[in-house]
Amino acid sequence: MKAKSGKRFRWAAIIAVLWLPFFSLPAFAERIKDIASMQGVRGNQLIGYGIVVGLDNTGDQTTQTPFTTQAIGNMLSQLGVNLTTEQATKLQLKNVAAVMVTTSLPAFAKPGQAIDVTVSSMGNAKSIRGGTLLMTQLKGADGQVYAIAQGNILVGGIGATSGNSKVTVNHLSAGRIPGGATVERSVPTAVGQGGFVYYELANSDFGTAQSMVETINKAMGAGTAQALDGRRVAVRTPEDADARIAFLGRLESLEVKTALPYAKVVINPRTGSVVMNQKVTLDPCAVAHGSLSVVVDGAQPGTGQGADIQVNQANGTLMNVKAGVSLADVVKALNALGANPLDLLAILQALKAAGALRADLEVI
């Protein structure tokens, strides 16, 4: 009897071991370069003040934005066109707008490299669509010029105006110029000082840090890597520069087993875009959604009647949102609310604050 019991126990143990992988949490393999960044290797923010020309009467109203007129006068004087103070103050250029130009100088960027820039109106321009940014110096925090920007602006929106009526799709006061800036000065970036480089995980996780250390030590030799905390990992590198570059290139391609990917919802308030990954889930909750509209009918001159103002509020109902354990369930629940993309931004923030949205919110 004891022999049979022992045999049964061994078979039960074997079956349990065979079935264990099916009940354990799945692991994902990610490259080190995808989950961590090297400390000290980062971009640098650049900013500049510029002028956009070529607009279709949608530029700044110079009477309300005197800095636009002043900038035009300074630019013309540098080009050999001298205006008196009285002439400069009388400029009415509706096809010109003052803008701020921003970008990030990538690590290891060298002179001559092209980078993208973002152009944003700082006056009261109605739209910068179709405009051209004139040569603009982009400076860093130290006041030095690191890039020069110029080019035609791409705006992801459209608008039309007729009389007192106006229709706008997306945001027209900001746009981008792909490859619109040329790097003029590089920022020295030291790698491997003191024989060590430090990797920082994108998200603090002790398990991922330990898994990363084990992967590096297995591939590069024991004692090569050491976890300092839940975010930083110190890696010993060769002293020779060529050997260090080859070592880091091989290191970044190593695959590390990580836990389930983080649930995240990314929202863009300017375009109303909402993007979520497959790990987003919902807990049961109740949501009341209604809309408030204000309609102002301007007074007609000479009629003696004031403006007609009407306030309309839709009947908001309290809706029961069922729990969603998959992306399809979440999308179905949100669509049942009947909200447009802009309303959905507020609903998602409220769901997160109430603890019903199991995901991180990121605004871009």
The region that residue 7 occupies, defined by phi over 0 for left and psi between -120 and 50 for alpha, beta otherwise, is: alpha
Rg (CA), the chain: 29
Q: How many residues does the chain have?
A: 364
Give the Å distances, CA to CA, from 200 to 39, 235, 258.
6, 11, 15
Cβ atoms of 171 and 270 within 8 Å: the answer is yes
Spell out the domains of the chain, with CATH numbers in brackets: 28-40+190-258 (3.30.1360), 44-183 (no CATH), 264-297+311-363 (no CATH)
CA–CA dist 333, 335 (Å, integer)? 5
pTM of model > 0.75: no
What number of other Cβ atoms are within 10 A of residue 350's Cβ?
15
pLDDT tens-place values along the chain, 364 residues long: 445 555 554 545 444 444 444 444 445 678 888 888 888 888 899 999 999 998 888 888 767 777 777 787 778 777 777 776 666 666 667 888 899 999 999 988 999 999 999 999 988 888 888 899 999 999 999 999 999 999 999 987 665 555 555 556 567 888 999 999 999 999 887 776 778 889 998 888 888 889 999 999 998 889 899 999 888 999 998 888 888 888 888 988 888 887 656 777 887 777 777 787 777 777 777 776 665 444 545 444 455 555 455 545 555 555 555 655 566 666 666 666 666 766 777 777 777 887 777 777 777 7
- DSSP for 17-82? HHHHHHHSPP-EEEEHHHHEEETT---EEEEEEEEEE--SS-S--TTT-HHHHHHHHHHHHHTT--
CA gap 353, 349 in Å, rounded: 6
User: How many contiguous H segments (helices) and E segments (strands) does the chain have?
Assistant: 8, 23
